Amino acid sequence: MHWTTWWLFVTTEIVLCLTPGPAVLYIVARSVKQGRAAGLVSVLGIHLGTAVHIAAAAVGLSALIVSSALAFAIVKYLGAAYLIWIGIRTFMAKDPPPEAPAAPAEPLRRVFRDGFVVNLFNPKTAIFFLAFLPQFLDPARGALQAQILVLGLTFMGLGVMSDAMYALAAGAAGDFVRRNRRLLRWQRWFAGGSFVGLGVTAAFATRK
């Protein structure tokens, strides 16, 4: 593709990165709860899910999800149920007594898995690629699959960088929260509420 088209895509994507969405809320909740390392691992998990959506867009699966009511509903409700389950699991965690040590952190492999599944079953990501990428494609300049891969990988690279900054900032704030036991309960309810809210939002996503 022409370099001016790619640069216009980059500029547009930077603006989108500065507008926090559900993925950023998930990363912030993880970072506040468990620290910068967990936040960064969740970023990697989320963008591995993004890579699956990029591959799906390149071979036309995104179009299938959007055109098929059944496929869309399956993806939507699986993702919503998983998010709500994470939120309920967070709500049900007990507050440690003041004399007890801090609760053990979740394994990073679970944090990575949760991030991957959350984005993999996010139908809005598939719809975004289907609606957004074609505006920058030019059939006269070569294979559309190759152009989708270039734009998709650019999208993912910029997303990793911006989400990592959110994770680092939220992790720094989380350090203060975790040192203050009076704020631990608020932190747990914030994280749980964020996950449940994301699940409800995904459940009401439409194909428009």
Kindly indicate the confidence band of residue 40, based on its pLDDT and cuts at 50, 70 and 90: very high
pLDDT at residue 36 greater than cutoff 60: yes
> Alpha-carbon dihedral of residues 119, 164, 86, 124, nearest 10 degrees?
-30
Two tokens, residue 182: 């009076």
Angstrom distance (rounded) from CA 79 to CA 145: 27
Residue 101 has a pLDDT of 46
Cβ distance 183 to 168 under 8 Å? no
Mean pLDDT of the chain: 77
pLDDT at residue 150 greater than cutoff 80: yes
With tokens 């690279």, the residue in question is: 157
Q: Report the half-sphere exposure of 8 (CA within 13 A, side-chain side).
A: 10
- By mean pLDDT, which of 47-51, 59-63, 92-96 is the weakest? 92-96
Query: Cα–Cα distances in Å, from 102 out to 33, 34, 83, 108?
Result: 12, 11, 25, 17
Highest mean pLDDT of the ranges 26-30, 65-69, 94-98, 177-181: 26-30
- By mean pLDDT, which of 4-8, 151-155, 183-187, 189-193 is the weakest? 183-187
- By mean pLDDT, which of 75-84, 94-103, 136-145, 153-162 is the weakest? 94-103
Angstrom distance (rounded) from CA 69 to CA 56: 17
Cβ distance 187 to 28 under 8 Å? no
Burial class (CB in 10 A: 0-12, 13-18, 19+), 59: exposed
pLDDT at residue 98 greater than cutoff 60: no
